[in-house]
Structure formats: C-alpha cells, structure tokens
Chains A and B, each alone.
Chain A
Amino acid sequence: MVTRRIFLAGFILAAMTFPGLAAERSIVVASTTSTENSGLFGAILPIFEAASGIRVKIVAVGTGQAIKLARNGDADVLLVHHRPSEEAFVGQGFGVKRFSIMYNDFVLVGPENDPAGVRGLTDAATALARIAAAKAIFASRGDDSGTHKKELELWRAAKVHAQAASGQWYRETGAGMGATLNTASALGAYVLADRGTWIAFANKGDLGIMVEGDARLFNPYGAILVNPARHRHIKAAEGQAFIDWLISPAGQQAIADYKRGGRQLFFPNAD
C-alpha cells in the first residue's frame, strides 16, 4: 500500500510539473491549415526563433475557428487569409492592427478527364457555372475557412446556389484543405485550393490545375496582434515582435525563399 501511495503522489507531482514547461518565452499563433499544411511555418519559424528567442506555437485551424480562438483570447497573434473577416476583427476592437504579410492565389483543381470542360478558363465564375451545369462533383471545404468563404463568393459571382445541391454533386467535407483534397482525389472531384497547399500536397492522384489567373483568386494573408486591452494576458511585446519580423526584410526574404519542388509558394507583400 505504501508503494502504491508513492506511485500516486508521483503521478500528481508529474502532472503538476507540466504547466511549468509553458514558462519559456513563447506565443500562440492561431493560423490556417493552409500555412501549416504547405510547410511554410516549419521552414520560417526556426529562423525567427533563433533570432528572437521567442518560441512560436502554431494552432492550425480554419480561418473561422482561428478568429474565434483569437476573440476568446486563446491566441496572441492571428494570421489568416480572409480580408473582410480580418478587418471586422480589428474594427470590433478584438485586434490592434492588420499587417499585410504575403499572398498567393487560389486554383481550381479538377480531374484529368475534366467532365465539366473548364480546363484553361481564366474566369473562375464561368468555370463554376459550367461545373454546376454539368453536375460534376465539387468538393467544398464547408468549414467557414478562408478558402470556403472565397469559394462561396465565387458561387455568388457565378449566380449558382450550390448548397441547394449539397449531398448530390456538391459535397461539403467540413474539413481542412488537405483532408478535402484527399476527398477530391478519391472522388475525382473539382475543388478550390490555395496554391501553397496544392503544390505541397502529396496525394494528388489524377487531379490537376484547371483554372488559374483570375484576379478574384487573389489570396492575401494578414497578421493581427490580439488586443491586449481586451485580454490582459496577451503577450503583446512578443506577439508584435513576431509580426514585426514577418514584415521585416529578413522575414519577407524567408517567406520568398520557401520553395517546394523549385516553386515559390508564398509571395511577400508587406507595405
């Protein structure tokens, strides 16, 4: 019985020591699955961490959930890609200021046999209208992410009410970019993806880029410090230091230097 009590005490002690690990100088960044799945953070964060001594903890979720986390004060910095939501976040006083960080673009990906005949189009709305007319399978994120919001804008531009066909040719996966690409790959479906995740994605199957180059497919990323006036525990100095580094020449160069298969995934565009 005595040894048992010692064991139990050990369990409790060990459990208590865990929060101690959080004492290092670190920030939590709520960001999107596209930045994580594309491997960008894995490449640039070690450079920042070595230069600043600040550890960056990335929680990669959809833009909708990332904004919710930041509103609750569960992250110090928000780094997402849906400008209207970002401006609303700052406008409502949840964030301090939005900084442009980088951009890439969305691409409409589809199966090689291209049942809707959209390959080579440069008008994304026309392409979506053709997909709807052909009732070709389309895999939607359906998760209130930045990519999902962009897709819904494009359906509105195409004047198609795609959600009316939900469960038929319009399939809402309710999942991250990578998971949705896996689904599209298995179904031979069309899907809207950010170029970064698409290039880095390893399970393309017979999917390929069908439509690109439409100005509406522009995909800018912004970073915002969560307002310390709302949440006193926000690590404002460290969080702003991370944003300052992202928009500095060194940070911008690190973003430009990240390549997969010789291709640049994100293009720095700090003011």
Chain B
Amino acid sequence: MNDITAAFGMAFAMLLDLDRDLIEIVGLSLRVSFLAVGLAVLLGLPLGAAVALYRFPGRTVLHALLTAFMGLPPVVVGLVVYLLLSRAGPLGVLGLLFTPAAMILAQCLLVLPIVAALSAQIVADLNREYDEQLRSLAAGPGQRLVTLLWDGRFSLLTAILAGFGRAIAEVGAVMIVGGNIAHSTRVMTTAIALETSKGNLALALGLGLVLIVLALTVNLAVLALRDAVRPSHG
C-alpha cells in the first residue's frame, strides 16, 4: 500500500516539477504516437471506407483480417518490424532500427487495423442511411467515399482516439524496435518497464499515473475541439 500512496505523491510532484527528463520522455511519447496515428489515419480511413463501400475480390477476407488484427500482439509486431529493419533484414540499409521512425512504423501497424476496421463499420452504417440521397445525386464511387468520410468525421474521431489509446499505451513493440535508449528512444511505457525492473515500483506507478493523465488530456482536448466545431443541433 505504501508504494501506491507514494506513487500518487510522486506523480503529483512530477507534474508540478516537470523536470527535463520527464518532458523529453513525454514529448517523445506524444510525437511518436501522434505521428503513428496520423499515418494510420491517412491509410486506414480510405481503406476502411473502401472495404465498406466497394465490392472487390478478397473484400470479405480483408475485412476479417482487419478486424482480427485489431488484437495484434504488440510484441509480435515489434519482432516483425525488428526483422525488417535489422541490418541483416531487407530494409536494413535504411538504418532506422533504434530510432523514433522505427517506433512510429511499429505503432502505425498496430493502429492501422483499429482505425480501418472501426471506420469500415461507421461508413457502412452511414452508407445505408444516405444511400438514396447519394443515388439521387448520382454520386460516383469516389465521391461517395469522400462524402461519407466527411459526414462521419465526428464518429470517426472515436475510432482515431481508440487508435491513439492503443499507440500511447503499448510497450512491447517500441521496446524491441526502439531499444529504450536514454535520451533517444525512451518513451513513457518503456521508462515504466525500466523503473519496474529496477525495483522502483512507486516511481514506475507514478510515471504510469502521469501517462494516464496525458492520455486523458489528449482525449478531452479532442472532444472539446469536436464540440467547438460541430454545428449545434439546437
């Protein structure tokens, strides 16, 4: 129990204190996860919408794969990305292993199925709702996709936030491809794992609480932004 109460004190002190190391680690966590989610959104929204709207060979299999891969084990993704980026691997010449870019790639692979599968569901529902209207406007397939993504943007935010939650919280993938290098690739989750292994349990839990506050802040900010721009229904 002592460690738990001490952790709250430490988390509070860390947030007040904002020492340089903590800011660096928090900053890298946010940068890596934002960029990973950004890339996953770029690829995942059109992919999900395409799966929802178009008929093409292998569509059902692709849909099933996306849904199943929402639960990809991070450590497996980390291992695959390591084998790709290792100097002995096919992409070794890029020299990306143990850099934030490798961590972004790994997290992007984790987030992509979540964004794509959830947006497929959202777009499919909207498509049923607006089908007649779109038909009467004689919208082409491309136009239909863009229109439905735009109309569903507020619901799609939830899918994006789910992806962000996955990215910011995972440790298995970034540990392997980032290497948890101090002042280089150490993020919140790998720092928590390191402090736990040093036996600094209160500090580790304190960092965990800071991470939760961080995730909460991002979610609140996104939801506040949504409410600010969403046309009121009154």
Contacts and interface: CB of A to CB of B under 8 A. Distances in A.
> Are A and B associated in one complex?
yes
Interface of A: 8, 11-12, 14-15, 18-19, 21-22, 28, 33, 36-37, 39, 42, 55, 57-60, 71-74, 175-179, 181-182, 185, 200-204, 231, 233
A37 B198 contact: yes
Contact of A22 (B99, B182, B201): B99
Interface stretch (B89-97, B113-121, B160-168, B209-217): B89-97
B96 A202 contact: no
B180 A74 contact: no
Interface string B72-112: 00000000000000111100101111111100100000000
A15 B98 contact: no
B42 interface: yes
B179 interface: yes
Given A59-B180, A178-B198, A18 B100 contact: yes
Contacts of B87: 72-74, 231, 233
Interface residues of B, number: 32
B184 to A, nearest CB: 5
A77 to B, nearest CB: 13
Nearest to A28: B98
Interface string B11-44: 0000000000000000000010001001100100
Nearest to A15: B35
B196 A11 contact: no
Given A12-B39, A201-B199, 16 more contacts: A14-B35, A18-B35, A21-B99, A22-B95, A37-B197, A58-B182, A59-B180, A72-B86, A74-B97, A74-B98, A179-B196, A182-B199, A182-B201, A201-B198, A202-B198, A203-B200
A57 B181 contact: yes
Given A21-B99, A59-B98, A203 B199 contact: yes
Contact of A182 (B94, B97, B197): B197
A16 B68 CA distance: 30
A182 B196 contact: yes
Q: Which of B31, B39, B104, B197 has the most CB of A within 10 A?
A: B197
A19 B95 contact: yes
Contacts of B199: 178, 181-182, 185, 201-204
B192 to A, nearest CB: 12
A175 B73 CA distance: 18
Contacts of A59: 98, 179-181
* CB-CB nearest 3 A-B residue pairs: A178-B197, A203-B199, A73-B87
Contacts of B88: 71-74
Contacts of B181: 28, 57-59
9 contacts: A8-B38, A15-B104, A19-B96, A21-B99, A37-B198, A57-B182, A178-B196, A182-B196, A233-B95
B49 to A, nearest CB: 15
Contacts of B100: 18, 21
A42 B182 contact: yes
A176 B199 CA distance: 12
Nearest to A197: B198
Nearest to A59: B179
Given A59-B181, A74-B86, A11 B38 contact: yes
B198 A200 contact: yes
Contacts of A11: 35, 38-39, 42
Contacts of A60: 180
Nearest to B93: A233
Contacts of B92: 73
A181 B200 CA distance: 12
B98 to A, nearest CB: 6
A57 B42 contact: no
A19 B200 contact: no
B178 to A, nearest CB: 9
Contacts of B39: 11-12, 15
Contacts of A42: 182
A58 B197 CA distance: 16
A234 to B, nearest CB: 9
Nearest to B197: A178
Interface in B201-230: 201
Nearest to A178: B197
A207 B194 CA distance: 21
Q: Which of B35, B86, B87, B104 has the most CB of A within 10 A?
A: B87
A56 to B, nearest CB: 9
A65 to B, nearest CB: 10
Contacts of A18: 35, 99-101, 104
B203 to A, nearest CB: 9
